[in-house]
Structure 1
Amino acid sequence: MALKRTVTGTSNAKIILIGDHSVVYHQPAIALPLPSVTTRVNLTSTKVGQQLNSRYFDGPLTEMGQNLSGTAKLIQTLLNRFDATEVPFEMTIASDLPAERGMGSSAAVAVAVTRAMYQFFDRPLNRELLLATAAIAEKITHGHPSGIDAATVSSHAPIWFIPGHESLQIPFNLPGYLVIADSGVKGQTGKAVAAVARRKTTMPQTTNEQIETLGHLTTETRATLASADLDRLGTILTAAQHELKGLGVSSPELDKLTHVACANGALGAKLTGGGMGGCLISLCADWETTQRVQQALTDAGATQTWIEAFETEEEH
């Protein structure tokens, strides 16, 4: 088997645009790929050994620690699949994605590793096989992953997602920009999901209404994404933040930063992901506003910011 000398597999970050938390209760969610924030996996054939270089570990594959057990299992499964357990190579994982910020860091690594290895061993890879393969690592990392992360970090189009149903890439026709900002506090998805579940038991009617409202806002967002109504989308995002705050999954830092974004001209802003920390997103109509909002968020304590042009081509 003639192996290519060096290949690269890539993927990108993702954010939940809307539907955070309500998606746990079978409401839809929309996730958005962030093509400017990427993960790259380089695979190079070597004379001897199987070596990994990454931000968490440098050394032989056989010595990868528990924190990388999902990636280790994925690589081993693929080497078995390709009958290549003895083939020597060096793998380097480089990622712009911060860990534990709701941006799909582990799924991005799984997708990029899968793409690199299929390329390296010159095997065909379609989308269905890619997502099924990435799930090998995600099941170890997250227990019962919904699949939305892998579906989005491997896509160029927004993903419409309902648990238990197939995820769909949806049309997208919007100008404008998103400013994503890290609140500086690690997101606490597990704690936030548990808090909503408790609230559902103690205050069922109010909580169910909030979850259903988030579902309706998500459905409305899908139509808005296709129709280029930026102002309406901003209003929807802010309405969603109001419901999420009501569910108890925001944080003082997120509340402050969403307020700062809107005070500086953003059309709308909300937390993204599990909440109780992590990131927020704010929607801006033009480049000047985008820069002003980004600067204001940084001044107000955001530890890192990213800008994504809110336009994407549909995937072919």
Structure 2
Amino acid sequence: MGRTVHGKSNAKIILIGDHSVVYGQPAIALPLPSVTTNVTIRETATGQRLNSRYFDGPISRLGQNLAGVAKLINTLLTRFDGQQTPFEMTITSDLPAERGMGSSAAVAVAITRALYAFFERPLNRDLLLADAEIAEKITHGNPSGIDAATVSSNVPIWFVPHRETTQIPFALQGYLVIADSGIKGQTGKAVAAVARRQTTMPTETNQQIQTLGQLSVAARAALAKPDLRQLGQIISDAQQQLQGLGVSSRELDHLTQVATANGALGAKLTGGGMGGCLIALCPDRSTTQRVQQSLVDAGATATWIEAFNLEEDPQ
């Protein structure tokens, strides 16, 4: 068996700032290190092959659905003079697609880390994010960069569009339950709905967007204090604003109510909304387990638990 190297990344969720970030307000994205994407590259005798849940075969035959991955791999192989170097790349991921958890960015980051390791080249954070963007530009057109910044981090990301992407202090002790509503998120539809609402109801909509921005500022302070209960209230307040903007759904509303009724300090949708996932903040493990089970009983199709015990990672 030939030499084997690994690259790893994690999932992410938007803790707060969903939709308001589109209008220039700050957002906080949270990495989920327990939900991972892993890329393994193994030396082989011939060929360059990719194994994944979406494609198994020669890298040269990657289809349009993986055009971003193909562009990233080929760009790095050209940079490293590795077009003829034989290897087998295997991608495994815990992240569900189209649930607002950063699955495409996680793949791009893990591939980048693995290829740099395989060709024994130095990699810093700025270079990592720049290279991951090669794939993200093809996959998403005009990515904000928040996904790649977060799936490659072990601490929260403070994001202000076109101004700031910064790792921020994090001192909370607690748990987060992430639950999949079972309905595919509809980010494009939700963003368009808010834009229409801003046109027809500008005063009310702009106030809701501004309030969500203020809640992001308050959440940053609660993360640093730390103040778990205050953060829970901020999260629930954000859900009320998102409901007002029309981007929640009957299923998400029900699941957030179930979570708080079973002891969560706060709960809200995360990401584009109109489906996708929700998050519920819990103070201890027993409450977390009760909330998780209650969400499953109420119809959540998958759940994840993240403990707040993150430590800063320089890369």
TM-score (norm 2): 0.98
Q: How much does 1:173 deviate?
A: 0.5
Contact kept, 8 Å, 1:29 with 1:218, in 2: the verdict is: yes
Alpha-carbon distance between aligned partners in 2 of 1:203 and 1:98, rounded to the nearest angstrom? 35
Alpha-carbon distance between aligned partners in 1 of 2:123 and 2:198, rounded to the nearest angstrom? 42
Alpha-carbon distance between aligned partners in 2 of 1:74 and 1:222, rounded to the nearest angstrom? 34
2:46 matches 1:24: no
1:103 equivalent in structure 2: 101
Q: Deviations over 1:216-262 (max 9, x none)?
A: 00000000000111111110000000000000000110000000000
Q: Deviations over 1:162-188 (max 9, x none)?
A: 010231000001011000000000001
Q: Deviations over 1:262-287 (max 9, x none)?
A: 00000000000000000000000011
SS in 2 for 1:122: coil
> What residue identity is the alignment partner of 1:73?
K
Q: Deviations over 1:137-190 (max 9, x none)?
A: 000000010000000000001000001023100000101100000000000111
Alpha-carbon distance between aligned partners in 2 of 1:310 and 1:216, rounded to the nearest angstrom? 23
Q: How much does 1:62 deviate?
A: 1.1
2:220 equivalent in structure 1: 222
SS in 1 for 2:31: strand
2:136 equivalent in structure 1: 138
Contact kept, 8 Å, 1:39 with 1:97, in 2: the verdict is: yes
Q: 1:255 aligns with which of 253, 256, 272?
A: 253
2:281 equivalent in structure 1: 283
> What residue identity is the alignment partner of 1:94?
T
SS in 2 for 1:168: strand
Alpha-carbon distance between aligned partners in 2 of 1:225 and 1:315, rounded to the nearest angstrom? 17
Alpha-carbon distance between aligned partners in 2 of 1:269 and 1:166, rounded to the nearest angstrom? 26
Q: 1:231 aligns with which of 229, 232, 238?
A: 229
> What residue identity is the alignment partner of 2:209?
I
2:114 equivalent in structure 1: 116
1:50 equivalent in structure 2: 48
Alpha-carbon distance between aligned partners in 1 of 2:42 and 2:286, rounded to the nearest angstrom? 43
Contact kept, 8 Å, 1:172 with 1:311, in 2: the verdict is: no
Alpha-carbon distance between aligned partners in 2 of 1:11 and 1:166, rounded to the nearest angstrom? 22
2:32 matches 1:34: yes
SS in 1 for 2:164: coil
> What residue identity is the alignment partner of 1:51?
R
Alpha-carbon distance between aligned partners in 2 of 1:230 and 1:147, rounded to the nearest angstrom? 28
> What residue identity is the alignment partner of 2:86?
P
Q: What is the RMSD of the two structures over their aligned residues, measured on CA atoms?
A: 0.7
1:71 equivalent in structure 2: 69
Q: How much does 1:85 deviate?
A: 0.8
Alpha-carbon distance between aligned partners in 2 of 1:228 and 1:283, rounded to the nearest angstrom? 14
Contact kept, 8 Å, 1:200 with 1:208, in 2: the verdict is: yes
Unaligned runs of 5+ in 1: none
Alpha-carbon distance between aligned partners in 1 of 2:228 and 2:125, rounded to the nearest angstrom? 31
SS in 2 for 1:167: strand
2:149 equivalent in structure 1: 151
Alpha-carbon distance between aligned partners in 2 of 1:311 and 1:180, rounded to the nearest angstrom? 16
Q: How much does 1:315 deviate?
A: 2.2
Q: Deviations over 1:100-143 (max 9, x none)?
A: 00000000000000000000001110000000000000000000
> What residue identity is the alignment partner of 1:6?
T
Alpha-carbon distance between aligned partners in 1 of 2:268 and 2:278, rounded to the nearest angstrom? 6
Q: 2:86 aligns with which of 74, 85, 88?
A: 88
Q: How much does 1:89 deviate?
A: 0.6
Contact kept, 8 Å, 1:28 with 1:163, in 2: the verdict is: yes
Unaligned runs of 5+ in 2: none
> What residue identity is the alignment partner of 2:45?
K
Contact kept, 8 Å, 1:188 with 1:275, in 2: the verdict is: yes
Q: How much does 1:83 deviate?
A: 1.3
The 4+ residue runs of structure 1 with deviation greater than 4 A are none
Aligned length: 313
